[in-house]
Amino acid sequence: MNYGILIFILGWILKIEGGLLLLPAVVGFIYRESAGVWFLLTAAIAFIIGTVMTIRNPKSRKVYAREGFVVVALAWLIMSLIGALPFTLSGDIPNYLDAVFETVSGFTTTGASILPEVESLNHCSLFWRSFTHWIGGMGIFVFMLAVVPLLGGSTFNLMKAESPGPVVGKFVPKIRDTAAILYTIYLAITIVECLLLTICGMPFFEAICHTFGTVGTGGFGVKNSGYTEYAPILQNITTFFMIACGVNFQFYYYLVGKRFKLAFSMSEVKAYLIIILVAIVLIAFNVRGMYGTTEEAVRHSAFQVGTIITTTGYATADFDKWPAFSQSILVLLMMCGACAGSTGGGIKVSRIVLLFKTIHKELSKIIHPRFIKKIQFDGVSVAHETVRNTNVFIAVYCVIFALSVLCISIDNHDFTTNFTAVTATINNIGPGLSLVGPTQNFSFFSPFSKIVLIFDMLAGRLELFPMLLLFAPHVWKRY
């Protein structure tokens, strides 16, 4: 392990977080809230510690896979520990473990909350909760690579460790240019949605907070009622942008570059949209009797399908009261997740597609033992390593999932609560069913269970392996 580069990168991450913490401090100043001082103090602490850590340049700036995965896991953990401080210092979330849970939920774009009600929070705390979604949605390392020329050409392993999906590619030869393109698209979508919500009647502060949650596919809101009080047009706008942000951002890169044929030939995007359409139709048909009109049934179905498959977590209806058939579809969508290369969580549609292609290949091989055929994805042969990585990922996912359910079952809550709590956290969704339904929260879990769920949120956002490597002793050996 190259500890020099580890400390150096973590120092830069703390300096960036210190800069980002100034925004909620400004919000506190605008609304004349004393809590803004604690954000300012935390920003100063993060920046000072980060500056001390970056004073000395490392002898080697090369970032291998080991350093890349470990530093990304440590950075997300440290960012959450620092980011939780203002909540506790201001008194908005007095219990520090609860504050860490809330902050991890924010950065990982999970949206699971321990707060029984949010409207009593200061504006600066509400802003920071939602802003952590926006930061974590595209990734803090992607942001760092876009604005800080640190490590030359050795940064791909950082992006690989943080970016979602079985394969991480570059839009252009330089990683920094790829990161800049991603954030430009991300920022443009953010501005457009915020403007539309504001124009259509949502107060600006609420519009920007909900935009952070939508574009980052997070789900923290500013009202206890969630999205139920907002007009249908605002719900429809949010539905559109949730689904749009679950699309692989390479799709938008192709559109901007007028490479329409490549954009609309992406099999993952097509599969993602088909899954959404089928789920909306099935659920709307199933819940039609619960609503006055077909339009209302379709609108709520579309919103919930969009919020669940993209792992956003907003709600316009209490789907915990929906029929079992609709609930089962939503749970399956929780696990499926959005596209690779998006801000959404879950297993990812690309992995699901590859899994089915692998099953088809194996069945064909049983029928025709001498049959040789490579798995194709978007017209390109998929490397054996990618298929193997996908299979290993799903196997590890199942193991962590099962162990997590077992661990939190010590609290003796019902199985539906335990199962969907883990589903909601490891897939970075937010709400589950029963005691963790869309109108409930996670505050009743014991400290041990909260730690397990915190791990699940971080592991789910970072594609499992970076968090697991922290527990491998040989990783820490100096070379």
Mean pLDDT by 10 residues, the chain (479 residues): 85 92 96 95 95 84 77 92 96 96 94 91 95 87 62 56 55 65 89 97 96 92 88 96 92 87 88 96 95 94 95 90 95 91 86 89 83 77 83 93 97 96 94 90 96 96 89 80
Write the single-letter amino acid at 303. F
Could you tell me if 222 and 205 are in contact, meaning their C-beta atoms sit under 8 angstroms apart?
yes
Q: Cα(242)–Cα(247) distance, rounded to whole angstroms?
A: 9
pTM of the model: 0.92
Write the single-letter amino acid at 69. F
Which residues are registered as beta bridge partners of 381?
376
**The pLDDT value given to residue 153:** 47
- Contacts made by residues 260-267, CB under 8 angstroms, sequence distance 24+: 265/378, 265/379, 266/378, 267/353, 267/377, 267/378
**The pLDDT value given to residue 225:** 82
Q: Which residue in 37, 121, 53 sits closest to 86, CA to CA?
A: 37
**The pLDDT value given to residue 282:** 97
Contacts of 274 (CB under 8 A, 6+ apart): none
Contacts of 475 (CB under 8 A, 6+ apart): 1, 66, 70, 469
Q: Torsion angle of alpha carbons 348, 354, 355, 356, nearest 10°? A: 110
CA angle 11, 17, 18 (to 5 degrees): 90
Distances (CA, A) of 432 to 155, 281, 311, 327, 407: 36, 21, 11, 10, 17
